Amino acid sequence: MKLTFHTQTTQAQRSAFVCALQQTHVRHVVWHDASRCITGVAMWPGHEMLVPDMIAQAETLGEVTALHPDYPLASIDLKPSGHVQVGAHRIGPDTLTLMAGPCAIESAEQLEAIAVHVAASGAQFLRGGAYKGRTSPYAFQGLGAKAIEMLSTTAKRHGLYSVCEVVSEVHLPAYLSCIDVLQVGARNMQNFTLLKAIGQTQTPVLLKRGMSATYHEWLLAAEYILSHGNPNVILCERGIRSFEPMTRNTFDINAIALMRTLTHLPMMADPSHGTGQRALVGPIAKAAVAAGAMGVMCEVHTHPDRSMSDAAQALDCSSYQQLALALNVLHHVMTDSVSSAAAH
Ligand code: PEP
Ligand code: MN
């Protein structure tokens, strides 16, 4: 359940309620307004674990509403929409977040050359894989720990934030010291040990949808991270496995619109893995923004055909720059039409 305190409730009453709650086994999160006053508290599981006195008290102190029983913290019942702050950048409905870079970091020179174009395109994030979970054990596995360092320093040099996939909790300390956004890949969406470990940090996380995960399973994966204490979760649709072999995956545009009705978590799109073909990346990126995606992640390379992984879906740098421009225009049209419609 969610308790939003009435404005006339005193700070002492609010603190007393939270103190009493701390004496119970009910798990909860407390939120504050800008002045650090306690404004509300979410409790889960629901009413059944609260002593009747406390429920009665809650009803006098504020407005009590139900939260989704399976994913109370990820649910839209908690709040209509939210954002995740990364440094000075806000990922959420008001801004279009662009993340771009190679599938895998191949060398410092490769990353530097790509980063120049990513920064020039107006993207805010440089991406690049350090540990690549490849289908074949003989395929390039990534440069590992030294790539994390390269990504961090290269991104900083260009005024970009970094986003990098973490495949094991064993690697987490190396990421936490220098990476701005942790990515959980499709293959690890239900790696619960990893989700719990990331949940114990405050570092923002981009949680990709598993390739055959339902929306419900995806939200439960997000709930793992949220319920372990990390509120900074961003979702990313990256295509699902369907019966169609002509594209690598089937980008699920429904997910973008539907998730916005189920959760307050910011929603991004990855049209590179969603299609697997560079000619489809632009159209699907635009469709995702038109459907309400708050950001787009793309794979970009200075020599796409020479990419050591995912070459077929890599965009060249000038195509990416044009796409980034088009996506920003589209986002402006979308947000302007929404705000001008609201004014009428
Ligand atoms: C990636 O972004 O490089 C990646 C491996 O993505 P996914 O987990 O969506 O396949
Ligand atoms: Mn890739």
State the closest ligand 1 atom to the C-alpha of 187, by its place in the atom list counted from 1.
8
Measuring from atom 1 of ligand 1, which residue has the nearest CA?
Answer: 103
C-alpha span between 253 and 35 (Å, rounded): 39
Q: The tokens of 271 are what? A: 């049209």
Beta strand residue intervals within the chain, DSSP E: 2-5, 27-32, 38-44, 62-65, 84-86, 89-91, 97-101, 125-127, 161-165, 181-184, 205-208, 233-237, 267-269, 295-299
Residue identified by tokens 């909860």 is: 28
Measuring from atom 9 of ligand 1, which residue has the nearest CA?
Answer: 186
Q: Any residues with Cβ below 6 Å from ligand 1, and which?
A: 103, 129, 165, 185-187, 208, 238, 270, 273
Give residue 134 CA to ligand 1 midpoint distance, Å: 10
Task: List the one residue out of 338, 339, 326, 337 whose CA is nearest residue 98.
Answer: 326
Q: The tokens of 119 are what? A: 């920064």
Non-local CB neighbours of 54 within 8 Å, separated by 6+ positions: 17, 20, 21, 24
Which DSSP state fits 87?
T
Under DSSP, is residue 167 helix (H, G, I), strand (E, B) or coil? coil
Which DSSP state fits 311?
G
In this structure, are strands 62-65 and 2-5 parallel, antiparallel, or unpaired? antiparallel
- pLDDT value of position 340: 67
Mutating to test ligand 1, I would choose from 166, 181, 183, 296 the residue with most ligand atoms within 8 A of its C-beta, which is 183
Give residue 97 CA to ligand 2 midpoint distance, Å: 19
Give residue 187 CA to ligand 1 midpoint distance, Å: 8
Say if residue 45 is preceded by a cis peptide, omega within 30 of 0: yes
Q: pLDDT by residue for the chain (344 residues), tens digit each?
A: 899 999 999 999 999 999 999 988 888 889 988 788 999 999 887 666 777 888 899 999 999 999 998 999 999 999 999 999 999 999 999 999 999 999 999 999 999 999 999 999 999 999 999 999 888 999 999 999 999 999 999 999 999 999 999 999 999 999 999 999 999 999 999 999 999 999 999 999 999 999 999 999 999 999 999 999 999 999 999 999 999 999 999 999 999 999 999 999 999 999 999 999 999 999 999 999 999 999 999 999 999 999 999 999 999 999 999 999 999 999 999 888 666 666 66
For residue 271, give the ligand nearest its CA.
1
Mutating to test ligand 1, I would choose from 240, 270, 298, 299 the residue with most ligand atoms within 8 A of its C-beta, which is 270
